[in-house]
Amino acid sequence: MRTRVLGGRPRQERRLVPIIPLLAVLGAPAAMAEGARPGAQLFTQRCATCHSVGEGDRIGPDLHGVLERRDEAWVTRFITSPGALIDSGDPVANELLSKFNGVRMPDQSLTDSERASLYAFFRDCTQKGKGGCKPSPAEKMGTDATPEEIARGRRLFEGTESLKNGGAACIGCHDVRGVGVAGGGTLGPNLTFSFARLGEKGMRPALAKVEGPMMGALYAKAPLDEEEQYALKAYFAEASRDGSRPRADRDFFYLGVVGVAAALGFIGVVFASPSSRGKS
């Protein structure tokens, strides 16, 4: 028979009840951050061209604190069909249209789970404060790169620009169509169509965590930073645009040419020496 105390609850139950809400409070920030991660990726891919979160207005408004300024139902209506909301005469939507030079945001077809993750990202950013939620540059779409970003990716691949953490240049083990005079290395696979093969979702983690028996050892203490990851992804995306097959391995051909030239040069030096002239 259990002993009861005033209030009618078992002594053991009274000890546990206050712990449950305490654990919920302690775990809330971590749960919010975890739920915000897919929203951060979605924002970078779908929204970051026109909006920032805490870095000021761009083509559209800064979205830091948007769910505190606006009702969530209104934000959902606006995201789903901005034009319809504007044409309905909604005063806030029309004020935004006027403020941002008449630029109409295109309709965004998001699933309920995508929208929930995006809202979790916005709330997490609000909790962190302005400037605490800058999206990773590595998460931007490789196909959205500028010519300068693509050119930097090629320099990093070829090794004409050093990697920040001292990692080895990709060209030592890999080739990409048109790179270098003699092409790249053949120890690893040809990466000309790596972006087409892996896609955006596969390429991003592949560059963030370079794995494999050899590559893992090379980059374990020299990982690519986020901007390097993006530049290389941009370069691979550009290389994949041309669907033609890369040229066959050229290393042996060029090495043969260099070898013949060196041999002829050596023979010329020998026969031009004074000792060889004296003997003839």
Question: Hey, which bits of the chain come out as E strands?
Answer: none
| Helices 194-208/226-241 angle, 10° precision | 170
* 176 plus 230 within the same structural domain: yes
> pTM to 2 decimals?
0.56
Domain boundary among 118, 135, 152: 135
Lowest mean pLDDT among 25-29, 51-55, 164-168, 193-197: 25-29
Please say whether the beta carbons of 133 and 125 come within 8 A: yes
* 178 plus 221 within the same structural domain: yes
Domain boundary among 135, 151, 166: 135
* 127 plus 228 within the same structural domain: no
Please say whether the beta carbons of 156 and 228 come within 8 A: yes
Domain residues for the domain of 236 are 142-253
Lowest mean pLDDT among 153-167, 192-206, 245-259: 245-259
**How far is residue 25's CA from residue 127's CA, in Å, rounded to a whole number?**
14
Look at residues 239, 225, 100, 218 and name the one whose alpha carbon lies nearest to residue 170: 218
* 151 plus 247 within the same structural domain: yes
pLDDT at residue 75 in the model: 97
Domain boundary among 86, 115, 135: 135
Q: Is position 268 within any domain?
A: no
Q: Count of domains in the chain?
A: 2
209: left (phi over 0), alpha (psi -120 to 50) or beta: beta
* 124 plus 149 within the same structural domain: no
* 147 plus 92 within the same structural domain: no
CATH code for the domain in which residue 47 is found: 1.10.760.10
**How far is residue 274's CA from residue 42's CA, in Å, rounded to a whole number?**
75
Output 242 or 236, whichever has higher pLDDT: 236
Q: Is position 151 within any domain?
A: yes
